[in-house]
Homo-oligomer: A and B are copies of this chain.
Amino acid sequence: MIALKQPVPSNCGDCPIRNRAVCAHCDHDELVALEEIKYYRSFEAGQTIIWSGDKMNFVGSVVSGIATLTQTMEDGRTQMVGLLLPSDFVGRPGRDGAAYDVVATTDIVMCCFRKAPFEELMSKTPHIAHRLLQMTLDELDAAREWMLVLGRKTAREKIASLLSIIARRDASLAATTSGGGKVFDLPLTREAMADYLGLTLETVSRQMSALKKDGVILLEGKRHVTIPDMQRLLEEAGDDSDGGFLT
C-alpha cells in the first residue's frame, strides 16, 4: 500500500474538506475561531489513533486517508462499526472516553480541535452544532443501512454491498469511470472487509473469487477492482432499487 504523504493544508481556505466537514457552514469569523484551537496530526497506515476507553482530549475531522471504527469482544471477535473517510468527524462532544478503537488503514491526516474549547465554541456557534447534527444523522442512516446488511444478507450480497458502497463514494471523489465501468483500489484488507461484514476472511476471499468468476467484478492483483456493470453489482447486493418489475 503506497500512501503518499498527504500535504497538510496551510489554511482552512485551501482545505480539501472545507465544504463537507463540521466546519462546512462556518462563516469567516467562526473559521478564525476554529483556527485558534486546531492542529494537524498525521498517522501512518496501521497505527491506532484512539484506543477504546481512552480519555479523549480532542475531536476532529479526517482530512485525507481512511480510518476504521472497531469494537472488540473479550474473546477477540471484532466488528467494524464505521468507516471514516475524508471529512468524517471523530469523537463525541460531551463525552470523555472513546467508545471504539480508531485505526488508520492508510496514512492519514487529521484536523484536530482541543475538546474543551471546541465544545465551548459549539455552544456559541449554531452553524457548527447544526452541521454536526446533520452529519450525525447521516451516520445514523449509514449505520442502519449496515444493520440490514449484517442481519439479513448472504455472504455474497454482503461483499457486493461493500463493493458498491466503495464504488459509489469513490465515484464522488476520484472515481475513474472508464467507459461505463467503475475502477478503484480496495482500501481494505480481506480481514478488514471480513470485520466490516461480519464474516471470516476465508469467506470474503471465496466470495470475491466467485464474483470474479461470474464476471460481476474484474480483479487485477488483490486490490484493483473493476466493475463492468454497476447495475449488475447492485442486483447482486440485493439492492435492486429500480423495482425490478420487468421479469
Contacts and interface: CB of A to CB of B under 8 A. Distances in A.
Contact of A147 (B73, B123, B136, B143): B143
Contacts of A73: 148, 152, 238
Interface string A66-91: 00010101110111011000000000
A63 B132 CA distance: 27
Contact of A144 (B77, B78, B82, B148): B82
A238 B143 CA distance: 22
Contacts of A244: 74
Contact of A129 (B126, B147, B150): B126
Interface string A120-151: 00010010011011101101110111111011
Contacts of A243: 74
B151 A79 contact: yes
Interface of A: 69, 71, 73-75, 77-79, 81-82, 92, 94, 99-100, 123, 126, 129-130, 132-134, 136-137, 139-141, 143-148, 150-152, 197-198, 238, 240, 243-244
